[in-house]
Structures are given as C-alpha cells and as structure tokens.
Homo-oligomer: A and B are copies of this chain.
Amino acid sequence: MPTIQDVARRAGVAPITASRVINNNGYASQDVRQRVLRAVEELGYVPNTLARSLRSRRTNTLALILTDITNPFFTTVARGVEDAASDAGYTVIFCNTDENEDEEQKYLNLLLQKRVDGILLVPARSGHGAIQSALAQGVPLVVIDRRVANEPVDVVRCDSEGGAYALTRRLIRSGYQRIALLNGPKGVSTAEDRAAGYLRALAEAGLQEHALVFYGHFTQASGAEMTTRALLHQPPPQALFAANNFIAIGALQKIRELDVRIPEDLALVGFDDLPPALVTFPFLTVVAQPAYEMGQRAARMLIDRLEGRLSGECREIILPAEIIIRQSSGPIHLEEETTP
C-alpha cells in the first residue's frame, strides 16, 4: 500500500508538500498540485488515518455501547446515532452488553485503547464503573436512555416517569382500578421511573392499595412469566402495564395462550412503541419514546462537546413520551377532566 512518501517521491516533492496538497491546506503551486494529484491517482494512494490520528489525537470514531441492538428501540436509537455521526464525519463502533456489567467494562477498556473520541452509553444497571473509567481518561461520554446517580455526565433520555404516569392515569380514568405493572429489573432507572410514575398515578387516584408491581427483565420470556404470576394474584388485575416492548409481547403471547380476551377480559398497555414498519397488528396502546431522536440528539451533543461547541455544565435532555391509544386499552370512557 503506497504511502505519502511514495506519492511525494513520484511527484518529485517532499512528503509534507504532498500532504499539503492532499489536505488542501497551505500553499502549493498549480504545477506541484497537479503532479501530486496525478501521483495519488496513479498509485491509488489511500491516506492512513491511523498515522494521522496518532499525531492529531483524534480518531473521528464514536462508540455506541448498548444492551442489545436486537431490541427495536435500541435499533432505532442506533440508526439515529449513526446518521448524526455520519453527517459529521464520524464513524460508529457498536457493542452489545446484554445488561452485563463485566461486558460493559470489557468493551469500555477496549474502546479507550482504541482512542475513540467519545462514547455513547446505555449503562447496564447503574453502570458507574464504565462511566468513571471514561471520565477518568477524559473521554467525553453521553448516557442514553437511563439516569445515573451522582455522576457528572450528559444524559439524553425520555420522560419515563411522566409517560408511565400519564398512561396509568388514562387507564384509571377509563375505569380500571386494579392495574399490574410488569416491570424490568430493579436498579435500572427506566424500570424505577416507570414504577414511580405508575405509583404516582395510583396514589393520586387513591388506589395505592391496588398497586401490584412485578420485577423481572426486559425480555419476552420474563413478560410471559410475570403475566402468569399477575393473573394468579387475587383479586386478578383488570389491566396489565408492560414496562417495555419485549415484556408487552411476552404478555400478549401468554394472554392469547390462556384464551383471555383483550381488552374485554383484560386490558394490556406497554412502554416503547414498535416502529411502524414492524407493526403487523396495530393494536397495543402504548407510551412511545422518540427513539430515533434520542440517538440523534445524543450523538450531536457528544460531537458538539468534541468540537468545542458545547462546554461546561453537564446537560440532561429529557424528551417527552407520546401516548398512542389503540384498542388494547378498551373503549374510551373518560370522566370529565373538569369537575364541577
């Protein structure tokens, strides 16, 4: 593979001159410019970014560490990240942790060695280890989707508490009183926030004693399993609130298996919408998160930091969730919003 030296030699100039021409920076006579460009062409010269990065200390590479790119929510986030990064001339490395903190730390070390310019992280659990490692090395980092306590980092996330509150409230106002929450694991902020919103809505309606929260995992299997447990509870819930898309799908499958009708016998709502292109059955009432926008905003924020357009205090961008009413929450019979 030819180097800039080869190009220079062929053009009869010094390497630095070739560099100037190639990078369009500094002066160069027409004659020299042409000779260099021709040499580049003839040799099929491809600049070596490694060497450039070694000097410049910039790799134009970001890392995206998430739990599982197979989850359509994160897939969409990833697409947003890549689009924004690509627009700005950055490349994205992606890593799946499966919620495992060891994996997360392993990847992080690897990425620090690779000298990525910045990191986008969906922390497994509270994931402080990874955050601290990155901050210690002075590598800018933006957390996506989840809160982290007591760490000075930028965050882009969705209003899980507010979304869960609004949807739960909506259910209550539709007449449901016994609503079970099929949640993710404790220790993950989104799970905790969704529980908090759910509980706030119940409390506000004086339904605290009907609170019923199951903690599991953000997976289909766990959703099915929690559904079984929920339906065994006495008295059984009238509605299930699944804390993410996989849990909702697991619940849906279990409910069908049991020949329980939605929404006649049981209402089912969820957090995370599936992208329109994936919805084979537009049926579930959900709280939808702006996944693409989250990825895009996070990447832009990170790049703004890298390029000095943003500095100082950490920011927290909290995007609103949107409630999409479909059939699974039953007919709408709201009480009047304004009471006499």
Residue numbers of A with Cβ under 8 A of B are 1, 44, 46-51, 53-54, 59, 61, 68-70, 72, 75-76, 78-79, 82-83, 86, 91-96, 109-115, 136-138, 219-220, 246, 249, 252-253, 274-284
Quick one: which of B76, B114, B280 contacts A49, CB cutoff 8 A?
Answer: B114
| 11 examples of A-B residue contacts, CB within 8 angstroms | A48-B115, A49-B113, A50-B115, A61-B114, A70-B275, A82-B94, A91-B93, A93-B93, A253-B282, A280-B280, A281-B281
Residues in chain B near residue A46, CB distance under 8 A: 109, 112-113, 137
Please measure, in the bound complex, the distance between the C-alpha atom of A112 and the C-alpha atom of B69, giving whole angstroms: 25
Complex: chain B residue closest to A44, CB-CB:
B136
By the criterion CB–CB under 8 Å, are A94 and B95 in contact? no
Given contacts A46-B109, A86-B95, 19 further A-B pairs with CB under 8 A are A1-B138, A46-B112, A47-B113, A48-B113, A48-B115, A49-B114, A49-B115, A54-B54, A68-B79, A69-B69, A69-B82, A86-B96, A91-B111, A92-B94, A249-B280, A252-B280, A253-B282, A278-B278, A280-B283
Copies of this chain, tallied across the complex: 2
Whole-angstrom distance between the Cβ of A148 and the nearest chain B Cβ: 21
Whole-angstrom distance between the Cβ of A135 and the nearest chain B Cβ: 12
Chain B CB within 10 A, most for which of A44, A83, A91, A111 = A91
By the criterion CB–CB under 8 Å, are A278 and B72 in contact? yes
Residues in chain B near residue A275, CB distance under 8 A: 70
Please measure, in the bound complex, the distance between the C-alpha atom of A86 and the C-alpha atom of B65, giving whole angstroms: 13
Please measure, in the bound complex, the distance between the C-alpha atom of A127 and the C-alpha atom of B198, giving whole angstroms: 51
Please measure, in the bound complex, the distance between the C-alpha atom of A92 and the C-alpha atom of B1, giving whole angstroms: 23
Please measure, in the bound complex, the distance between the C-alpha atom of A156 and the C-alpha atom of B183, giving whole angstroms: 39
Please measure, in the bound complex, the distance between the C-alpha atom of A281 and the C-alpha atom of B69, giving whole angstroms: 22
Complex: chain B residue closest to A280, CB-CB:
B281
Contact flag A44-B280 (CB < 8 Å), given A51-B54, A96-B79: no
Whole-angstrom distance between the Cβ of A80 and the nearest chain B Cβ: 10
Shortest Cβ-Cβ A-B pairs, 6 listed: A281-B281, A49-B113, A220-B277, A49-B114, A75-B75, A50-B54
Please measure, in the bound complex, the distance between the C-alpha atom of A36 and the C-alpha atom of B54, giving whole angstroms: 24
